[in-house]
Structure 1
Amino acid sequence: MESTVVLMNFTHVYEQEIFANSFYHRWVDCTDLTGTNCFCDATSASTIMKRINSYSPEGIHFIDSGNYHYVSKFWIDKIKEPFSLIVFDHHSDMQTARFNDMISCGCWIKVILDTNPYLRKVYIIGAKEESVNAILSQYRNRVKFYNETELFQEDRRNQFILENTDHPLYISIDKDILNATSAITNWDQGSLSLENLEKLLILILTKTRVIGVDVCGEYSEPANVFSAKRASFINSNTNKRLLTLVLSLKNMIHI
């Protein structure tokens, strides 16, 4: 399977972002699919998995807006060894599924915990307190939360690294963890700066073995032309910086 930079286009948003032309990448067009916005039906899920079948989980994958964060599951299901998952997200994405035959952007982490035999632990960084408090008790021993600042504390940082020496990691980034000067998304956002996100990624990428990375959080529903152009400029710049960072450290991860 191929390890590379992959752009998954559901909403045409990457067609407006300059960063997409700055690096060699593979393009996975999903704009023809229905039943994918926030929730994904079984037919579209099967089609998406077929379209990424030739690609490896090793690499960096851009997967459109946070409405499509569930696509992370399709990449993660390609991993066939014990691993842990790190998610940068302002939401826990651990809601109970509304429909048994559908995965959604709000429940995909819970689904992976319930179904993936290789997943050992999930670390969610930056989720707001109310979504953390809503986690069902049976998941507490497999899911660990860090707020936006904890990993900048030496003792918490060292503990995190020590916990992640036995298994490789997969990193999933929703840009809604960032403040409004670093990203414009469809959802309410956190307050982490892009610079601090980069510092955390450098820490993880240089101290642990990372299989792959995905990024979502585009702004795919602009109210007007001005907001569309502003979101495109800010998100493109952030995506380019994240991509540049990961590629600059690619010798330390499996890309």
Structure 2
Amino acid sequence: MNKQELLTNGRCKKKADRETVWPVVIMNFTGVYAHEVFARNNQFIWLDCRHLSGTRGYCDKEGIRKLKRVIAGYPAEGIHFIDSGNYHYLTKLWTDKLRVPFSLIVFDHHPDMQPPLFKGMLSCGSWVKDMLDWNMLCKKVVIVGASDKLIRTVPEEYGQRVSFYSEATLAHEKGWRNFSSAYIEGPVYLSIDKDVLNPASAVTDWDQGSFSLQELEELLAIVLRKERVVGIDICGECSATLTLFEERREATVDSRANKELLKLIQSFSCFL
């Protein structure tokens, strides 16, 4: 499927038919977005989080309170860039704003369902488990692209509410339609960690999957055509490296991925 087919093949209206436009929010923790060309848009909303302590990887109660204040004036209905995978737990804070039952679809090489090392801490490795434990409006979680090894570590008691979907199956619309009718409840919130991509398509702080950027776009296009999406976030930026050359290369690769994903998402109006 070529890029034009991705943008036009389906039942969604084109963005010219929209009455409203979702905000694009940049949550700046590491400063990496300043090096990414895609983010140089004066219509984007920048939230400066660089001064917040206790938020990298693990987020303590005070950090959670501060972050809730930062995002208080913005809705879940938006496209949120939330920096590196160390801040993926922000999906929980954004979805806590939803007031209707929903399903969460996560594109991630990791299930993010490990118990936190410290009690009462929200972490980038435990946030999906925390959502299932505490957000009663989250009815189902679908994780796309996680490694088989990590899937086997998911506690059995979550089996009724968590499903894993393979790249090969999702690539067919009929397969997704059958899967959706069986497992998806209500509208969906999409969370994309670019570590689901191969290293040629994105550079992240974590071990990565095998999806190409085009494959991920094809999967997203299917979901955007078939589901009512009530919010989206994207993470997986790479922290600054020791060499200027590597830093520029990483920013270029990640900026391209973010630009392409944003272009695809904004070509649909079915998630408005």
TM-score, normalised on structure 2?
0.89
Call closer, same or farther: CA 1:112–1:127 in 2, change over 3 Å: same
How big is each residue's C-alpha offset from its partner over 1:79-138, in whole Å with a ceiling of 9 and x where there is no partner?
110100000000010001111221000000000000001011000000011110001110
**Structure 1 residue 166, shift from structure 2 partner:** 4.7
SS of residue matched to 1:100: coil
Call closer, same or farther: CA 1:131–1:23 in 2, change over 3 Å: farther
Give the aligned partner of residue 102 of structure 1. Answer: 121
User: Within the alignment, does 1:224 sit opposite 2:243 as a pair?
Assistant: yes
How large is the Cα RMSD of the aligned pairs? 1.5
83-92 vs 17-26, greater mean Cα deviation: 17-26
Output aligned runs, 1:1-255, within 5 Å. Answer: 3-22=22-41, 24-153=43-172, 155-163=174-182, 166-249=185-268, 251-254=269-272
Indicate the percent of aligned positions where both proteins have the same amino acid: 46
SS of residue matched to 2:139: strand
**Structure 1 residue 207, shift from structure 2 partner:** 1.0
CA distance in 2, matches of 1:169, 1:154: 17
| Shift >3 Å, 4+ stretches | 163-166
Give the aligned partner of residue 5 of structure 2. Answer: none
Call closer, same or farther: CA 1:164–1:138 in 2, change over 3 Å: closer
Where in structure 2 are there 5+ consecutive unaligned residues?
1-20
59-68 vs 152-161, greater mean Cα deviation: 152-161
SS of residue matched to 1:220: coil
How many pairs are equivalent?
Answer: 252
CA distance in 2, matches of 1:238, 1:128: 21
- Answer yes or no: is the 8 Å Cα contact 1:72–1:214 preserved in 2: yes
**Structure 1 residue 224, shift from structure 2 partner:** 1.4
Where in structure 1 are there 5+ consecutive unaligned residues?
none
- Answer yes or no: is the 8 Å Cα contact 1:176–1:183 preserved in 2: yes
SS of residue matched to 1:81: coil
SS of residue matched to 2:167: coil
CA distance in 1, matches of 2:225, 2:160: 26
130-139 vs 16-25, greater mean Cα deviation: 16-25
Letter paired with 1:98: L
